[in-house]
Amino acid sequence: MFRFPAQLYPIADADSCDDVVTLVDAMLAAGVPLLQLRAKSATTRDLVDLARAVKARTDRAGAALIVNDRADVARLIGAAGVHLGQDDLPPAAARAVLGADAIIGFSTHDAGQLDAAVRDGVADYLAYGPIFPTRSKTNPDPTQSLAALAAVRARCPRPLVAIGGIAIETLPDVLAAGADAAAVIAAIARAPDPQAATRELLALARLTARRFPAGS
């Protein structure tokens, strides 16, 4: 069964920074063992080139790369897996593309979607949110809150990552609510020093997870 290698799940979003490859370098220098590449506005050709450049870096660092949305690109570049949204390829179809060993994540935005994904049983982990208001999506789904996160945690047997507006001030509350990991975009990409921000978030996530083990 898949387990998050760290309680911080950084997302390198090409639309949230000037140079996503430099951002990836900062994340890897801080020691992240897994990261997601997201480039929603990129053409397929540009995404493949970008994903290959990032994959070379994660390979050198011994980290795993998850590609957002595109199972075909993940397979083409040999990524560890894919993260899918509600409007993307269904998890079962992505599994057919990527094989049994790939990591498949799936986004859910309310309790009904999460329950359906649990019943489906294909995704290795589920994402839930946005927990807080976020600027990383043009039309974000309704905010779910920490109380909603705790409620779905109680009935989610899969590893669960919280996403949406999570910052260093709120990360402990997210993990205390039961998330196995916290996905972070802006708190790293928009920080004055992304490497230092990643390192600080990693350390805080580890410390908090020891106090509030997921599912406890």
Angle at 205 between CA 164 and CA 159, to 5 degrees: 65
* Confidence band for 213, pLDDT divided at 50, 70 and 90: confident
**What CA–CA distances, in Å, run from 25 to 13, 124, 195, 213?**
13, 26, 8, 29
Average pLDDT, integer, range 125-152: 88
**What CA–CA distances, in Å, run from 76 to 47, 67, 103, 145?**
11, 11, 15, 37
Average pLDDT, integer, range 33-45: 97
Question: Which residue of the set 107, 136, 153, 199 is catalytic?
Answer: 107
Question: Which residue of the set 38, 95, 153, 199 is catalytic?
Answer: 38
- Give the pTM: 0.95
* Confidence band for 138, pLDDT divided at 50, 70 and 90: low
Backbone angles phi, psi at 170, to 5 degrees: -105, -10
pLDDT digits (tens, 9 = 90+) for 140-168: 788 999 999 999 999 999 999 999 999 99
**pLDDT (0 to 100) of residue 1:** 86
Q: Is 40 part of the annotated catalytic residue set?
A: no
**pLDDT (0 to 100) of residue 198:** 98
Q: Is 38 part of the annotated catalytic residue set?
A: yes
The percent of residues above 70 in pLDDT, for the chain, comes to 97
C-alpha–C-alpha distance, residues 119 and 197, integer Å? 37
Domains within the chain, CATH numbers bracketed: 8-210 (3.20.20.70)
Task: Judge whether residue 214 has pLDDT over 80.
Answer: no
Q: Is 41 part of the annotated catalytic residue set?
A: no
3-state secondary structure of 98: helix
Question: Which residue of the set 40, 75, 137, 145 is catalytic?
Answer: 137
